[in-house]
Amino acid sequence: MTPPSESTAGVTTFADYVRGRRAAVDEALGRLLPSPPACPPLIAEAMRYTVFAGGKRLRPLLTLAAADSVTPGGMANDGEVLPAACAVELIHTYSLVHDDLPAMDNDTLRRGQPTAHVVYGEAVAILAGDALLTEAFRVLARGSESDPASLRARRLRTLEYIAAAAGPEGMVGGQVMDVSSTGTTSAVFDTERLRATHERKTGALIRAAAVAGALMGGSSHPVADAVDRYATHLGLAFQIVDDILDIEGVQEDLGKTAGKDADAGKPTYPAMFGLEESRHLAARSIADAKAELRTAGIGGRLFEIADWVLSRTR
């Protein structure tokens, strides 16, 4: 395992690491997504439009960084880990397509581009989201007869974990809680319910992305559990920063419509705690995330990803 350290700048800068890993993810996504004649041209175009419209690629970066962090020598086998990284990004992208629909947030801008239902209509946007979700599990499950039993077992555990995070116990359940909370006053929607909503809607897939990397990297159960705890704190910080940026962010930087949560009357951390206390809560969550890594002796890029989540402006 890589020695616990908050700096790996001697190897390459974090910015270079992010660029390289994003490029690897984008290349793999382009290769794995279906194309005609295997599927109709329209659905292939809509899927690629949403996947390659931009984005931070935080979740696949977490998968790759977690795998590297638990692998002796600090470099996991990309052939084994990249499918999981791509799968979590496909699931995340599907959730954005559906989240933007008129029946949900009714947003017209995502990642700086018109949303899928604006470009292709609601029916094709819904089907594109369905296709991305389904394709994610095909990517996760795909293997060969020559794969060792240990790899097949890791793949199955990863698939089960990601499925739970994406379903009614995770992201879908959180979205239901979010939809039902719109217009709810803070007196009714308390702190515990706010946190529970975000742990499912946003945090569950962030946790799954990191744990998937740890599992595919061959980590032991205690190490995977430590990565899970790290990602739980990271996911909370990510959502708090997201709530802050919805108020303070510049639309051109965000790539989506600013102020939507406040306009919709959704409970948020700034609405409950104010901006200054929300910043403190986010910083505290990042400190807790790093503490989990130090306690478990996990190093690598996960420290820098935590700093990036806290300091991001989009």
Give per-residue pLDDT as tens, 156-191. Answer: 999 999 999 999 999 999 999 988 877 654 445 678
User: Domain spanning 14-311: which superfamily?
Assistant: Farnesyl Diphosphate Synthase (1.10.600.10)
Tracing tokens 């296709």 back to the chain, one arrives at 131
Q: What is the pLDDT of residue 50?
A: 96
Task: Please answer whether residues 214 and 296 qualify as being in contact, where contact means their C-beta atoms are separated by less than 8 angstroms.
Answer: no
Q: Give the pLDDT confidence score for residue 5 in this predicted structure.
A: 44
Angle (CA) 234 241 178, round 5°: 90
Contact 139, 82 (CB under 8 A): no
Give the pair of three-digit tokens for residue 21.
Answer: 């890993």
In 70-216, at which residue ranges do the beta strands (DSSP E only) sit? Answer: 109-110, 113-114
CA torsion angle 55 212 306 71 (round to 10)? -120
Decide if pLDDT at 267 tops 90.
no
* The predicted structure's pLDDT at residue 253: 52
* Statement: residue 6 has pLDDT above 60: no
Q: Where is pLDDT greater, at 313 or 121?
A: 121
What is the per-residue pLDDT across 38-97, written as a single tens digit (0 to 9) for each? 999 999 999 999 999 988 999 999 999 999 999 988 889 999 999 999 999 999 999 999
**pLDDT value, residue 258:** 56
The pLDDT tens digits for 115-157 are: 999 999 999 999 999 999 999 999 999 988 899 999 999 999 9
- The pTM of the full predicted model, rounded to 2 decimals, is 0.91
